[in-house]
Amino acid sequence: MDLRPAAVRALLAHLERLPGVGPRTAQRHVEHLLTVDAAEVEAFAEALAALRRSVCLCSRCSLLTESDPCPVCSDPGRDRAQILVVEEPTTAWAVEATGEYRGLYHALLGHLSPLHGVGPEDLTIARLEERCREGGVVEVILATDPTVEGETTALYIGRRLQPLGVRVSRPASGIPVGGEVATVDRVTLAQALHLRRPV
C-alpha cells in the first residue's frame, strides 16, 4: 500500500521529470517543502507560475526576456557589429557574467541533429541570416558547444553566412586555467595546440 498522499505523489511525479532529479532527490525536495513555512511554499509556487506567464523569447535574438525586444537588443550602447551565436538562450547568461562581451546575441534554440530530426528549419538560422542581411553586422561569433553536433552546426552556419560578407569566427578552446595538461582529453589538447598563441 502506498501511504503517500495523492498531492505528494503528484508533486514527486512532476519533480522527477526535471533534468537531473531522480526519485530520491525528488523525495528530499518534497520533504523540505512540507517542513518549511507555508508562505515560502506559496512564494515558490507563484515564482514557478510567473516564470511561464512573464518570460518569453525575444522576437529578434531569442534570448529569454520579460520585454520584447530584450534589454540587449534595446540597448543603444551595445556593439551592433558583433553577434554572438549560442545554442540555448541561457548560455548568454554565462557570457554576460564575464563582462567581456558588449555585442548582440542570437540563440539558435538547439543544434543540428539529423538523427533526432532537427534540421536547419527547426532552428533560428534563417532569422540570423536576416539580421546579417540588414547590414551593420561585421562579425558573427559561433559559440556553439564543442560537440559533434555543435561543430556541425557552426560549420553549416559558417557556410550559409559566407556569401553575406560577414566575418565568421569561433571562440578559442583548449586547456582550462588551472588544469593539468596530462589530464586533458585528446580532442581538447589537439585544439589547444592548434590554437596556440605567441608568448
Handedness of CA 101, 106, 110, 114 (dihedral sign): negative
Query: Long-range contacts: 26-32, Cβ < 8 Å, 24+?
Result: none
Say whether pLDDT at 185 is over 90: no
CB 2 within 8 Å of CB 17: no
For range 170-174, the mean pLDDT: 81
For range 65-72, the mean pLDDT: 96
Q: What is the model's pLDDT at position 105?
A: 98
Say whether pLDDT at 186 is over 90: no
Task: Please give the model's pTM, rounded to 2 decimal places.
Answer: 0.83
> pLDDT per residue over 90-115, tens digit each?
999 999 998 999 999 999 999 999 99
Say whether pLDDT at 13 is over 70: yes
Q: What is the model's pLDDT at position 199?
A: 61
CB 142 within 8 Å of CB 154: yes
Q: What is the model's pLDDT at position 196?
A: 72
Determine phi and psi for 7, rounding to 5 degrees: -65, -35
Cell numbers standing for residue 87: 545554442
For range 165-182, the mean pLDDT: 81
Q: What is the model's pLDDT at position 39?
A: 95
Say whether pLDDT at 178 is over 80: no
| Domains of the chain and any CATH numbers | 79-169 (3.40.1360.10)
% the chain with pLDDT above 70: 98
DSSP string, 32-99: HHHHS-HHHHHHHHHHHHHHHHH-EE-TTT--EESSSS-HHHH-TTSEEEEEEEESSTTHHHHHHHHT
3-class SS of residue 14: helix
Q: What is the model's pLDDT at position 83?
A: 97
Cell numbers standing for residue 116: 533526432
Q: What is the model's pLDDT at position 197?
A: 67
Cell numbers standing for residue 168: 565568421
